[in-house]
Structure 1
Amino acid sequence: MNLKNLSLNTKFTLSIILIIFAFCVLFSFLIYYHLKQKVIEDAHEKTRIIITQMDALGKYVKEELRPAIFKLLHETGKKDEFIVEGMSTTHVRLNVMRRFNNKIGNYIYKRVSLQPINPEHQANSLDMRLIDYFQNNSNSESWSGIVKIEGQEFLIIAKPIIAEKECLICHGKVKDAPKALLKMFPRNRDFTWKEGEIMGVESVSLPIASTLGEIKGIAISTFLFGLISLIFLFVGLQGAFWSFVIKPLKRLSLLFRGIVNGTEPLNQTIEVKTKDEIGELIFSFNQMSKYLFEAQEATKKYAETLQTIFEGITDPLALVNPDCTVEMTNHAYRKWILEGRAAVFNEKCDPEKIDPDKFCPVHFLKKVIDTKKPFSEYWEGEDQKHYFIHLYPIFNEKGDVIKVVHYVKDITEKRKIEEQMRITEKLAAIGQLSAGLAHEINNPLGGIRLCFNNLIATEMDEETKKRHIEVINQGLMKIQEIIKQLLDFSKQSELIVSLVSVNTLVENVLKLTDYLISKKGIKVVKKLSPDIPKIMIDSNKIEQVFLNIVLNAIQAMDGKEGTLTIQTYLKDDFCCISFTDTGPGIPENILPKIFDPFFTTKPVGQGTGLGLSVSKSIVEQHNGRITVETSRNGTTFIVELPLK
């Protein structure tokens, strides 16, 4: 039986019955325990008094009566006589106790020994255990407790019998014992008792089984009487509880069930007939039903509003299951499904059986399910369009991904605009480099011209001609290399990634800017880590990022001999490239705008305002990030590119 499925009335009834039963049992047990303890205390006190009386009687016989009889026997010449009725403490005690029992009750008095004169006083197994107890506990003067004998319980109080000098006359050697005693109890061996040893045990027993039985009867009668009385009380309470609590609650329960099943309206009011707790509960229900009805209506309106907003979002948005089935879509997503766009899910799939050679949104979905983290990616589909894809996981209570929010944006036109911006910025950078490039070309051209003039106008041997021709060839190769590097930098290209050394890209940019750097008197400090691995990037575009940052640093330090520090290092899963100048820093009011397109502080004709914006776009296209730190002592741009 599941207690959770029982009604409140049944639970209350069972609880009260259990409490009543437990109370009656506990109360009866306490009565029984109290009466039992009282009986035991009374019996113990009575047996203690009796054994004390017997002890006093024994002392009287031992100290007064027996010495007087011994004296009388000696005076009359009958010293070998022994009058048991007046000289044996055991005989006197036993007979007195027998007469006592005839008048009072069932007390059992025993005086036994391991080696008694009278064989009737031989110790049994219980007596021997008591003797052992006193021998092992020499400081104990008495023992008391309840013992079962032949199925009946007895309260026993016992004292040890200790050998004294007078006792050894009869309980010692045969030659010292009175002859009359030996005639009554013949023996041919000496007792080995010594003064101070425990000869036996003296005990008084009182049967208490019948008394305990009476106590049990009283406890049972009390239990039954209390149980019946409490049952009558419970019936009365149950009737009152049903009338005042259960009945109104059942009315509320039926109404709740009707509202849940849809057979009863939510906005209804129950009449409040009382001002007690149940009345307050019904009043609270009326208030709650009113608020719930208003909340329900408001929720419907909010849901309609959210549905309108959801449908009105111009970018595709959907809720996708792990098997790629779409559970909820907006109008734009459904339109893309009909158009067969590559960036949306339009059929079932198994993420575990995806085609590794066919890169698609299923790869992104599997990554979100495996990593349990949001995922964003710029991606070019098979339809030659560029998309920004974002997937956000939704978890169950166990932390497993059960659904994924899929957001897609067509960024094809944005990419075209960004590409035009990159080309514009490249041309602006080439304009800034033109003086340096002209210088780099003019130097080898001057050498070539001089060598040609010498070859034409001067007579020289073959060896000299050969050296002149070699100088001309080297100069032409240098001009060719400069022009090739310029063409590679300026050409338009899509994102083409390959394994590239970041340190090599830094060196290439420093070659392009070598003339400007030396002209401005700027010192370059390179801290390029040899541990940097090759990473998958578009070398042309990342080179453009580095060039934009270096040119900005050169312009920031214009008019003074500064230092440009370039450092490469690893941090977590990123390759970091930092460019630090010693310029005046970026003002606080300008710092938030430096990555905005067309924002520039340079004079007209000296900048497009696209450099940092384009650089940020390129780095983010590589799933990296670009940050800036500035102060009055200079500015540091940090480019972070993922190792994977």
Structure 2
Amino acid sequence: MKPKNLSISTKFTLSIILIILAFCILFSFLLYYHLKQKVIEDANEKTRIIITQIDALGNYVKEELRPAIFKLLYETGKKDEFIVEGMSTTHVRLSVMKRFNNKIGNYMYKRVSLDPINPEHKADALYVKLIEYFKRNKTQESWSGIITYNGQEILVMAKPVIVEKGCLICHGKINNAPKALLKMFPRSKDFTWKEGDIMGIESVSLPIASTLGEIKGVAISTFLFGAVSLLFLFVTLHGAFWSFVIKPLKRLSSLFRGIVNGTEPLNQTIEVKTKDEIGDLILSFNQMAKYLYDAQEATKKYADTLQTIFEGITDPLALVNPDCTVEMTNHAYRTWMIEGRAAVFNEQCDIEKLDADKLCPVYFLKKVIDTKKPFSEYWEGEDQRHYFIHLYPIFDDRENVIKVVHYVKDITEKRKIEEQMRITEKLAAIGQLSAGLAHEINNPLGGIRLCFNNLINTEMDEKTKNMHVEVINHGLTKIQEIIKQLLDFSKQTELIISAVSVNNLVENVLKLTDYLISKKGIKVIKKLSNEIPEIMIDSNKIEQVFLNIVLNAIQAMDGKEGVLTIESFLKNGKCYIAFTDTGNGIPDDILPKIFDPFFTTKPVGQGTGLGLSVSKSIIEQHSGRILVKTSSSGTTFTVELPVK
């Protein structure tokens, strides 16, 4: 089981046990280390005192006793004698330490050499290493440490034996050594020592294995006693912790689970029995439970209200997943799903296998997911009905689209009304053009009538007759073109998109309004860019927009010789057609209303008030805009259309 899945009581128990164990081990180790160091320090001090005493005894023999005995032997004629018991510093030291050990055991004294007079004092491998150590470290006066010797741990204090001038009497040339000494320890060759050489080692050692064992026992006993004591303390603390902390927390935890599972009500109060931190926690829980209960009730109320509003929306509204499954719908959306309307999602889809050339709700959904932007579109479905579709993305924390709000409105009837409004406005425009059209038709009719009279009443040759017939045909052709242009403009059509030159549409409108423009004395300035490509629009409807704007400009400049400037240009991937008049401008109180249906400032019988409203609808249907800029010196209407 992972530690994070353990209960707090288990975590507390394991933590305390680990802390107790670590504390006991650390304390016992520190105690053992401290006692061991203390034993070593005491042993070092004692061995240092002993070796200092022995060294002092050896110096006494070397400096006073031995010279005195040599003098006495010389005076008595026994200069070749050698009294080992009083003249050998090694013998005296070993004899004294032997008597010392009889009183205080365990201390071992050794004085050994690489080439001793007495073979018994020959250095073994351990002391050879010590001699080599002092030879490498000639400034070192002593050495102490714990070593394993003959399978036993001992503490050793050692110092080098340095050759002095007096030592060379016995440890020099054989001829100079006392004869009695050579009889006791025969030798056939001279010693090679020189003054200042390290001839050997003297040491005092003390076995400490038993002492260290006793220290270990003390440390282990301390560990066990401490562990038992702390364990007893832990049991006592754990009982208190369980009573004061774990038990109330378990009660709270059980209550929480009951609330989550629905077996316990949220609006309940737990009795606070203590005024400590647990009591504060229970009090906080009571406050939180009351707050959550109130919030829950308020949320239910708000949810019911929102559900009522959601269901009450008459247009279809839904929450759609990226796979086209519908998560939440209102009544209108469900009704459309039952009816099989083309504008709603009825089944799961695979966006990756979508036909890119087919416009449908799935295509619109994919566009929202890819662009991560809201999307609105006027669309005609396979059921031949017109819809306004709007999709709004909902994002997660990583800015990924996880759901889409889908809103649909059936605008079929609205489109029919808009179409009737466009027809009405066309008829009104034809009414305004009627005088010019009558003039355009009357002129050729007059010529035709004159030619007919001449042909009937006048005798003429064949050539003159043919000339009159040609004039009649020319006049009839001109009348036919005028009527055709008028019929093309006035006829009712569905939205037909094709590649069209906006400059050509401007020229067509100017032909229709040529008589009115001439009659009013208006000067036309054309600044039409040749860089504008053909764009995908409904030429008939856009031509109607241009005509409405030109007729409004003509009326705005009525009564004075004005100038109408028409300019076309490209900017930021869009096509702009600007119509600027030199009229008096649009008053500030009227400007916000100019696109309202049936709003007009023209006299009764001269306008329907639908011109700009219809024009705005047509341009928005083409995903464009109409911009207005006005002042006392004139007004500019700019039509913005997407190039692609």
Q: Which residues of 2 match residues 34-433 of structure 1 at below 5 A?
A: 34-73=34-73, 81-172=81-172, 178=178, 180-183=180-183, 184=185, 186=187, 188=189, 190-191=191-192, 193-356=193-356, 358-369=358-369, 374-394=374-394, 401-414=401-414
Q: Cα RMSD between the aligned structures?
A: 5.9
Residue identity opposite 2:215 in structure 1: I
What SS does structure 2 have at the residue aligned with 1:219? helix
Q: Which residues of 2 match residues 22-41 of structure 1 at below 5 A?
A: 22-41=22-41
- Cα displacement (A) at 1:548: 10
- Cα displacement (A) at 1:307: 0.8
Residue identity opposite 1:186 in structure 2: R
- Cα displacement (A) at 1:494: 6.0
Distance in 1 between residues matched to 2:37 and 2:43, nearest whole Å: 10
What SS does structure 2 have at the residue aligned with 1:203? strand
Distance in 2 between residues matched to 1:581 and 1:71, nearest whole Å: 148
Q: Which residue of 1 aligns with 2:462?
A: none
Distance in 2 between residues matched to 1:536 and 1:487, nearest whole Å: 23
Residue identity opposite 1:188 in structure 2: K
Question: Quick check: 1:553–1:564 contact (8 Å CA) kept in 2?
Answer: no
Q: Classify 1:378/1:94 alpha carbon distance in 2 versus 1 (closer, same or farther; 3 Å).
A: farther
TM-score relative to the length of structure 2 = 0.70
Question: Quick check: 2:622–2:641 contact (8 Å CA) kept in 1?
Answer: no
TM-score relative to the length of structure 1 = 0.70
Mean CA deviation greater in 300-309 or 78-87: 78-87
- Cα displacement (A) at 1:165: 4.2
Q: Classify 1:523/1:409 alpha carbon distance in 2 versus 1 (closer, same or farther; 3 Å).
A: closer
Q: Classify 1:143/1:355 alpha carbon distance in 2 versus 1 (closer, same or farther; 3 Å).
A: same
Distance in 2 between residues matched to 1:198 and 1:507, nearest whole Å: 125
What SS does structure 2 have at the residue aligned with 1:153? strand
Q: Classify 1:178/1:269 alpha carbon distance in 2 versus 1 (closer, same or farther; 3 Å).
A: same
- Cα displacement (A) at 1:390: 3.3
What SS does structure 2 have at the residue aligned with 1:212? helix
- Cα displacement (A) at 1:328: 1.5
Q: Classify 1:255/1:82 alpha carbon distance in 2 versus 1 (closer, same or farther; 3 Å).
A: same
Cα displacement string for residues 559-602 of structure 1 (whole angstroms, at most 9, x for unaligned residues): 999999987566xxxx3568999999x99989995996579999
Distance in 1 between residues matched to 2:612 and 2:149, nearest whole Å: 107
- Cα displacement (A) at 1:323: 3.5
Cα displacement string for residues 6-55 of structure 1 (whole angstroms, at most 9, x for unaligned residues): 44433333333333333333332332232222222222322333333334
Question: Quick check: 2:394–2:405 contact (8 Å CA) kept in 1?
Answer: yes
Question: Quick check: 2:594–2:600 contact (8 Å CA) kept in 1?
Answer: no
- Cα displacement (A) at 1:58: 3.8
Count of residues in Structure 1 that have an aligned counterpart in Structure 2: 606
Cα displacement string for residues 305-362 of structure 1 (whole angstroms, at most 9, x for unaligned residues): 1110111122212122343232221011011112211111112333333345543222
Mean CA deviation greater in 126-135 or 345-354: 126-135
Q: Classify 1:76/1:390 alpha carbon distance in 2 versus 1 (closer, same or farther; 3 Å).
A: farther
Question: Quick check: 2:422–2:614 contact (8 Å CA) kept in 1?
Answer: yes
Mean CA deviation greater in 382-391 or 330-339: 382-391
Distance in 2 between residues matched to 1:640 and 1:150, nearest whole Å: 109
What SS does structure 1 have at the residue aligned with 2:404? strand
Q: Classify 1:232/1:603 alpha carbon distance in 2 versus 1 (closer, same or farther; 3 Å).
A: same
Q: Which residue of 2 aligns with 1:438?
A: none
Structure 1: any 5+ residue segments left out of the alignment?
Answer: 435-440, 446-472, 474-479
Question: Quick check: 1:389–1:409 contact (8 Å CA) kept in 2?
Answer: yes
Question: Quick check: 1:525–1:563 contact (8 Å CA) kept in 2?
Answer: no
Mean CA deviation greater in 303-312 or 97-106: 97-106
Q: Classify 1:608/1:567 alpha carbon distance in 2 versus 1 (closer, same or farther; 3 Å).
A: farther
User: Quick one: percent identity of the two aligned structures?
Assistant: 73
Q: Classify 1:65/1:548 alpha carbon distance in 2 versus 1 (closer, same or farther; 3 Å).
A: farther
Question: Quick check: 1:51–1:203 contact (8 Å CA) kept in 2?
Answer: yes
Q: Classify 1:379/1:82 alpha carbon distance in 2 versus 1 (closer, same or farther; 3 Å).
A: farther
- Cα displacement (A) at 1:412: 3.9
Residue identity opposite 2:146 in structure 1: I
Cα displacement string for residues 498-535 of structure 1 (whole angstroms, at most 9, x for unaligned residues): 789xxx8689869989999xx98989798979xx9x98
Structure 2: any 5+ residue segments left out of the alignment?
Answer: 435-439, 445-473, 475-479
- Cα displacement (A) at 1:217: 1.7
Distance in 2 between residues matched to 1:211 and 1:642, nearest whole Å: 103
Q: Which residues of 2 match residues 431-580 of structure 1 at below 5 A?
A: 568=570, 575=573
Q: Classify 1:576/1:483 alpha carbon distance in 2 versus 1 (closer, same or farther; 3 Å).
A: farther
What SS does structure 2 have at the residue aligned with 1:409? strand
Distance in 2 between residues matched to 1:537 and 1:232, nearest whole Å: 93
Question: Quick check: 1:118–1:185 contact (8 Å CA) kept in 2?
Answer: no
Cα displacement string for residues 457-490 of structure 1 (whole angstroms, at most 9, x for unaligned residues): xxxxxxxxxxxxxxxx9xxxxxx99999999999
Q: Classify 1:561/1:505 alpha carbon distance in 2 versus 1 (closer, same or farther; 3 Å).
A: closer
Q: Classify 1:92/1:327 alpha carbon distance in 2 versus 1 (closer, same or farther; 3 Å).
A: same
Distance in 2 between residues matched to 1:197 and 1:482, nearest whole Å: 142
- Cα displacement (A) at 1:134: 3.8
